Amino acid sequence: MSIWRTEATPEQLRELARHTLAEHIGIQVTDVGPDYLRATMPVNPHTHQPMGVLHGGASVALAETVGSLAANLCVDQSKYVCLGQEINANHLRPVSSGIVTGTARPFHIGQRSQVWHIEIRDESDKLVCVSRLTMAVVERQRNA
């Protein structure tokens, strides 16, 4: 059974991310499953820290991107928007090249908040980073 209130294809989500940080650093949504959203990001000079490995902030950007997109698919977007409230990340293994994949799955989908678990893995399926993202579900402002 699907958790999504709004159905979207990876292509539609990639288009939504045009001209954003996600596009700038190469994040690409690749898969929308019944209870997860997945995206990839290249590990290259655009996402490196000065020591030549994946920047922790780039990992967090990937985690927040997949979690935020997923959260917003779980609400009536004509009435609500989900906004990042808190994120943490544990960086477990350095990666210097290739592609990393972030997968977001929900811990909790509530009326006012959501909590998402994001795992980032390298091309060998080794765990690189784990993150927890809390999203606020906020009513959209009505035009007066």
Catalytic positions are 64
Indicate the burial class of 95 (C-beta count within 10 angstroms; 0-12, 13-18, 19 or more). Answer: buried
- Return phi, psi of residue 59, to 5°: -60, -40
Cα-Cα end-to-end distance for the chain: 39
Spatial separation of the C-alpha atoms in residues 34 and 22, rounded to whole Å: 23
- Return phi, psi of residue 11, to 5°: -65, -40
Spatial separation of the C-alpha atoms in residues 36 and 124, rounded to whole Å: 20
Q: Which pair of structure tokens corresponds to residue 18?
A: 């045009």
